[in-house]
Structure 1
Amino acid sequence: MKKIDDLKQYVSEQLANDATGHDFSHIIRVANLAKEISNQTDNADLLIVLTAAYLHDVIDDKLVENTYDKQKEVQSKLKELDYTSSQIDEVMDSITHMSYSANLKHHYELTINGQIVQDADRLDAIGAIGIARAMYFGGHFGDTLYDPQQVPRSDMDKSQYRKHTTVINHFYEKLFKLPELMNTSVAKKMADKRSKYMHDFVREFKNEWRGIQ
């Protein structure tokens, strides 16, 4: 798809300097996962799915200071690539409402295309890749690796969630919860394996921290 090829170039430039684990390699993995889920999900529109997958972090407020201007820029880019108004609306609705933090207090109902991208993004946050990204993200912001005295938080709103915690607490505050939040049956199956690997890692980490062999 030429539209997608042009979009990939745009996104790669937007995220070229990312050092938080939301770089273009993350985008490629999400797009690949989203395509795989789409192939096994009824009524998926691959163009919308891939477009949202490539763009979902370009407007993320973790990475962008002025999200309003960036959203307008993305909309202009899609118009330039001859997306229809309805296609643009669906893509923007998906990428502005799919994040974990946006759904802490209110669950947004996404279209099936948005659900697929949300699942793909969440899959890339768990398993072996998820462990690596959590460490990378925490290290970037100077977060403490682990503190047994610091209890994981619960029932947070977005502002509370965005306050940094220990890297290991992040598993309890978000990552362990993601498998149950998957929308599609395909993603649920993928998440099971990744979830087990992640739980095993944290269990082993804590044992080694305490000096248990």
Structure 2
Amino acid sequence: MNKELILKNTQAFILKQFAGEGTGHDYYHIERVVKLAKQIAEEENADVFLVELAAWLHDLGDYKLHDGVDRSIELISGFLLLEEVDSEIIQKVLEIVSQVSFSKGNKAESLEAKIVQDADRMDAIGAIGIARCFAYGGSKQREIYNPENPDETSIQHFYDKLLKLKDLLNTDSAKKLAEERHQFLENFLEQFYKEWNGN
């Protein structure tokens, strides 16, 4: 099993699948998650190949991108079988991917799953996290904010998810990196309400 070739082919496949995707779950999101996951994996002495492979594939088949139907097992295993990846590795990748999502609420069990989950969550906070929040909200026809009915707005997503992520991170490496990004979320909201109220 040529690990380098598998990773190269996976990257090319993901680029083809996610190029131009408009909800904030695009190729560049996945690429950022991969870079961050590799960095954390090296600091935490994890299996870097497994982390990188799962990070590249973590959004493939995601229900948010398939009209509410989760196709991750089917699409990930189908791709990895074509790449002749060992069945044991395929199983581990599927386990990691099933534990990454915030909305599924699954607990990350292995160190590798914790790392990919942390890297994905890190990309949901800070300046890029804010940009992705509004891109996704716009794709779902959500208002930016509505003081009369705030629950279904993009600003509400900060309270439902983004502001919680820092305290849900698993690894020390990610927790350190998250501080500045979390503070940026707080500062943004403060400025947002100031401007909303005409100040």
1:173 aligns with 2:175: no
1:26 aligns with 2:29: yes
Per the alignment, residue 95 of structure 1 pairs with 97
Per the alignment, residue 60 of structure 1 pairs with 62
Moved more, 143-152 or 5-14: 143-152
Trace 1:182-201 onto structure 2 (pairs within 5 A): 182-201=169-188
2:121 and 2:165 in contact (8 A); partners too: yes
| CA distances 1:114-153 after superposition (whole Å, capped 9, x unpaired) | 110000000000000001111111112221111223355x
| CA distances 1:4-50 after superposition (whole Å, capped 9, x unpaired) | 000011111111241101010101000001011111002x1111101
SS of residue in 2 equivalent to 1:99: coil
TM-score (norm 1): 0.87
Q: In structure 2, how many angstroms separate the alpha carbons of the residues matched to 1:204 and 1:76? A: 46
Query: Which residue identity does 1:25 align to in structure 2?
Result: Y
In the alignment of these two chains, the number of paired residues is 195
TM-score (norm 2): 0.93
Residue 76 of structure 1: how far off its partner (Å)? 2.4
| CA distances 1:93-133 after superposition (whole Å, capped 9, x unpaired) | 11122100110xxx424211111000000000000000111
Structure 1 unmatched runs, 5+: 153-164
Per the alignment, residue 6 of structure 1 pairs with 9
Moved more, 175-184 or 137-146: 137-146
- Indicate the structure with greater helix content: 2
Q: In structure 2, how many angstroms separate the alpha carbons of the residues matched to 1:109 and 1:130? A: 21
Q: In structure 1, how many angstroms separate the alpha carbons of the residues matched to 2:145 and 2:193? A: 9
When residues 145 and 151 of structure 1 are mapped into structure 2, their CA distance, relative to the original with a 3 A threshold, is: closer
Per the alignment, residue 132 of structure 1 pairs with 131
Q: In structure 2, how many angstroms separate the alpha carbons of the residues matched to 1:46 and 1:39? A: 7
Query: Which residue identity does 1:67 align to in structure 2?
Result: D
* Equivalent of 2:47 in 42, 45, 48: 45
1:76 aligns with 2:78: yes
2:33 and 2:55 in contact (8 A); partners too: yes
Structure 2 unmatched runs, 5+: none
Q: In structure 1, how many angstroms separate the alpha carbons of the residues matched to 2:11 and 2:112? A: 18
Q: In structure 1, how many angstroms separate the alpha carbons of the residues matched to 2:126 and 2:20? A: 25
Structure 1: 4+ residue segments shifted above 6 A: none
Provide the alpha-carbon RMSD of the alignment. Answer: 1.4
Q: In structure 2, how many angstroms separate the alpha carbons of the residues matched to 1:73 and 1:169? A: 32
Per the alignment, residue 161 of structure 1 pairs with none
